[in-house]
Amino acid sequence: MSTAGFEVRVTYEDALRFADLSGDHNPLHTDPAYAAGTTFGRPILHGAFSAALFSRLAGMHLPGRECLLHGMRLRFVAPVHPPATLRVTGLLRHATPDGGEVAVTIDDAQTGTRCVEGSYQFGYHHAAPVEDAPAPETTGANPHAPVVLVTGGSGGLGAALLTLLGPSGLPWSRAGDAMDPLPDRPVAGIVHCGWPKPDNQRLIQLAASTREAVHHHVAAPLEQMISLAATLAKHGLPGAPLILVGSTMADPGWHHYRMPLYSLAKSLIPTLTRILALELGAGGRKCMSLILDIIEGPGMNAGIHPAILRKHADRSPFGRLITPGEAAAQIRWLLDNPSLFTSGAVLNLSGGMVP
């Protein structure tokens, strides 16, 4: 089972009983006269009551009887004013034989207002029977299963990632000045592999084409990454990441800045990652980046002379370049990592290569 949910009617009397159980008799929750003088106008439900509903979903539905909660995260989007009918919905983001993670939303069933969103991680207090163990969702069987959007899907890295993701990956490309329409499926993450083809024109030789070149190679990619972050903030599941692919071309001493506009644009990624980690983190989403050296095989580097590739491979202690499949596997690792503390990370995966 990959989705589960229930509805529950919550009354003011339930809030009072919860206050007795928890010992939290704050008048915002228990005293209508006091609450009337606040910005809320009337009592609101304890935030921890929502945590109890998360626990009910985990222990009774997803995964159910064998559940052992490891942790949960909640964000209170709008107050709940009892009496109210709440709809609690869980979506299995990923699962292994040892546990998994569920994205959760709590909505007002009458108004449709989103009240709470978050997630929980679980294991099992016994070895789960094979027939009861939740299995990862396959989007081929469920057209509404979560999807990872991948830009640059026609390039070497993007194509390798889409192959690795299988039905859960979806190429998502720019059409003119706008992105393709969003799929009618939950967004579990966005990976940005797409990038303008580098131009080796020296900066001081751009002359009359400076403005157009800077916009094409620097400003437009920056605008697109910001747009991707805004899309994730609005449509991403709780905990969903935006993964930006950087390049060692931006590092001092590497490749002698032979593609300066490309190097300049890629140099924005680490700082942008840290900024977006703060902004997306406020809504429970993540941002991180991978810095890669030259990738072997198809894509942007397909036209490089074999002798030049050999020269770059000699810079590696392993004597070879990273393949698109190996780079894609590292992106998949980040997508599957549920920790919120990967957000803001800038991972250099150059393999110890020297400049």
User: 3-state SS string over 108-164?
Assistant: ECCCCCEEEEEEEEEEECCCCCCCCCCCCCCCCCCCCCCEEEEECCCCHHHHHHHHH
**What does the pLDDT average to over 259-285?**
94
Tell which wins on pLDDT, 211 or 151. 151
Return the pLDDT at 301.
65
Residue 83 preceded by cis peptide, ω within 30: yes
Return the pLDDT at 154.
78
Tell which wins on pLDDT, 347 or 177. 347
In whole numbers, what is the pLDDT of the chain averaged over residues? 86
Return the pLDDT at 133.
39
**What does the pLDDT average to over 114-134?**
71
Return the pLDDT at 321.
81
Return the pLDDT at 97.
77
Return the pLDDT at 174.
56
In a 3-state reduction of DSSP, which class is residue 241?
A: strand
**Cβ distance 160 to 186 under 8 Å?**
no
**What does the pLDDT average to over 12-30?**
96
Instruction: Given CATH 3.10.129.10, say whether it is the number of domain 3-124.
Output: yes
Start and end residues for every CATH 3.40.50.720 domain found in the chain? 147-348
In a 3-state reduction of DSSP, which class is residue 24?
A: coil
Return the pLDDT at 181.
77
Q: For residues 194 and 201, what is the distance between their CA atoms, to the nearest angstrom?
A: 20
Of 72-81, 136-145, 178-187, 274-283, the poorest mean pLDDT is in 136-145
**What does the pLDDT average to over 245-256?**
83
In a 3-state reduction of DSSP, which class is residue 326?
A: helix
Q: For residues 125 and 297, what is the distance between their CA atoms, to the nearest angstrom?
A: 46
Indicate the pLDDT class of residue 319, thresholds 50, 70 and 90: confident
| Residues 6+ away with beta carbon under 8 Å from 217 | 196, 198, 199, 261, 262, 264, 265
Return the pLDDT at 137.
44
CATH number for the domain whose boundaries are 147-348 = 3.40.50.720
